[in-house]
Amino acid sequence: MELIKSDLSATIRERVGNLPTLPDVALKLLELTGDDDVSINQLMQVISHDPAISSRILKVANSAYYGFSRQVTAIDHAITLLGLDMVRSLALSMKVFDYFRGIKSGGFFNLADFWLHSIAVSSIARDFVQLVPLGPRDLLFTAGLLHDIGKLLLLDLLDIRYLDLIRAVEKEKVQLHKMEKMYLGMDHAQTGAFLLERWEFPQEIVLIIHDHHLNLDQQRLDSVQAVILADILAREVGLGTSGNVAPDGHVEDILQNLGIDIAQWDLFCSNYKSRSEKKITDLMSVFS
Ligand SMILES: [Fe+2]
Ligand SMILES: [Fe+2]
> How far away, in angstroms, is 123 Cα from ligand 2 center?
13
Distance, CA of 82 to CA of 35 (rounded, Å): 17
For residue 175, which ligand has an atom nearest its CA? 1
Tell me the CA–centroid distance for residue 77 and ligand 1, in Å: 35
Q: How far apart are CA 11 and CA 139, in angstroms?
A: 30
| Distance in angstroms (rounded) separating the CA atoms of residues 242 and 73 | 34
Please enumerate in sequence order all residues whose Cβ is within 8 A of that of 235, keeping only pairs 6 or more positions apart, or say none: 117, 241, 244, 247
231 C-alpha to center of ligand 2: Å?
Answer: 5
Distance CA 195, CA 167 (A): 24
Taking the centre of ligand 1 as the mean of its atom positions, its distance from the CA of residue 213, in whole angstroms, is: 6
Q: Looking at the CA of 191, which ligand is closest?
A: 1
CATH number listed for the domain at residues 9-284? 1.10.3210.10
Q: Which ligand is nearest to the CA of 213?
A: 1
pLDDT at site 77: 93
pLDDT number for residue 4 = 84
Q: How far is the CA of 114 from the centre of ligand 2 (A)?
A: 9
Predicted pLDDT at 102: 82
Residuewise pLDDT in 10s, the chain (288 residues) = 678 888 999 999 999 999 888 888 998 888 887 677 888 999 999 999 899 999 999 998 998 778 888 899 999 999 999 888 888 888 988 888 888 888 887 777 888 888 888 888 988 888 888 888 888 878 898 899 999 999 999 999 998 899 999 989 888 888 999 999 999 999 999 999 999 999 989 999 999 999 999 998 899 999 999 999 999 888 887 777 777 765 566 889 999 999 999 999 999 888 887 765 666 777 777 766
What number of residues does the chain have?
288
Distance (angstroms) between ligand 2 centre and the Cα of 227 equals: 8
